[in-house]
Structure 1
Amino acid sequence: MTGVLRRPLLFLDVDGPLIPFGPREHPTHRSSSSPEVASNPLLARVDPGHGPRLLALPCELVWATTWMDDANECVAPLVGLPRLAVVTWPDDPGAEERDQRQGLHWKTRTLVAWAAGRPFAWLDDEITDRDRAWVAARHPGPALAHRVDPGEGITDADYRVLGEWLRAAA
């Protein structure tokens, strides 16, 4: 029996990649009177153009954010994404402290475990070379840990890198 070929995963963070931060002014894409923006004014920075671009990528999108399922409730509708799977973070402060002492992002171990050997890309604004090395040493499949500049959010250049990698991994 042959196995089902599954597309690579794309672990997607919200703060930084989809909601850019930084000293420069960011365009707003929604009126401050919209219900989503009224609950969180930073949501006005979410570019609705990300939805179609993300959906066009050859991957399975997964929220990897502290927004948890709120990403499905608040962010997904703003960009036109369907409900996505959500990575659940373990409640283990000791592990988080250990990872920080090792210079690892607190998400790294969980994402590698969640991928369970599947190819994955991870977009986040806090990824370091230490995370990349840890993933390379412990994940048996292809993986791309791509840092997004939080001052800019996901750019055309990020989409190019991600698209090329996903097509090669698929």
Structure 2
Amino acid sequence: MNTLVFLDIDGVLNPWAAQVCPPGYTEHRWRARKAWLSSAHGPALLALAERVDVELVWASSWAGDANVLAGKAIGLPPLRAVTFAGPHADTGPEWKFAAVGRFAYGRPLVWFDDDFDLRPGARERFLRRRDQPTLLVPVDPAVGLTQEHLDAVAG
């Protein structure tokens, strides 16, 4: 089975912590959301998926909005998405780890997110439970996803 690559939006594709909209990004506004997104991310992620045979998956609180807003804006086709237990299930003590673990059961994974260090205990429990290759790739929410992050996956 191919590796799953989990994508967060805020902090990874949307560098929300930057002081201003970074070069190469465009501000997008929808009724309930705003994001700075780079149209270069879609093609770069698709190229990664093809080059190293991975499946891209949303792991974001954007839920159904991930495909219709962010994904569409950067040129991604609809992706499968992790379902969290409720609208704020990604803020609890186990954060996103339980849902991602269930989704990826038995498969290797790579996960891009900006919040791994906020819950070190949950992160360590998640890593101990995994018996498949697992790479957690921290992303600076002021910078967002870079080519260096993608290169780390492509190895």
The TM tier, using the shorter chain, reads 0.7 to 0.9
What is the letter of the counterpart of residue 22 of structure 1? Answer: A
Establish whether residue 47 from structure 1 lines up as the match of residue 38 from structure 2. yes
Q: Could you tell me which runs of 5 or more consecutive residues in structure 2 were left unpaired when the two chains were aligned.
A: none
Contact 1:135 1:143 in 2 (8 A): no
Secondary structure, aligned partner of 1:9? strand
Which structure 2 residues correspond to residues 1-170 of structure 1 after superposition, within 5 A? 6-27=1-22, 29-30=25-26, 37-39=29-31, 42-43=34-35, 45-57=36-48, 58=52, 59-91=54-86, 97=92, 100=93, 104=94, 106-128=95-117, 129-164=120-155
What is the letter of the counterpart of residue 54 of structure 1? Answer: L
Consecutive aligned runs of 4 or more in structure 1 exceeding 6 Å deviation = 92-96
Alignment partners' CA distance in 1, 2:33 and 2:63: 18
RMSD after superposition: 2.6
Q: TM-score, normalised by structure 2?
A: 0.83
Alignment partners' CA distance in 2, 1:122 and 1:23: 21
Question: Higher helix share goes to which structure?
Answer: 1
Q: Could you say if the C-alpha distance between residues 133 and 55 of structure 1 is closer, same or farther in structure 2, counting changes exceeding 3 Å? A: same
Contact 2:61 2:90 in 1 (8 A): no
Aligned length: 148
Query: Between the two proteins, what is the percent identity of the paired residues?
Result: 33
Q: Could you say if the C-alpha distance between residues 9 and 38 of structure 1 is closer, same or farther in structure 2, counting changes exceeding 3 Å? A: closer
Q: Could you say if the C-alpha distance between residues 52 and 113 of structure 1 is closer, same or farther in structure 2, counting changes exceeding 3 Å? A: same
Question: Higher strand share goes to which structure?
Answer: 2
Alignment partners' CA distance in 2, 1:23 and 1:38: 20
Q: Could you tell me which runs of 5 or more consecutive residues in structure 1 were left unpaired when the two chains were aligned.
A: 1-5, 165-170
Secondary structure, aligned partner of 1:117? coil
Q: Could you say if the C-alpha distance between residues 95 and 83 of structure 1 is closer, same or farther in structure 2, counting changes exceeding 3 Å? A: closer
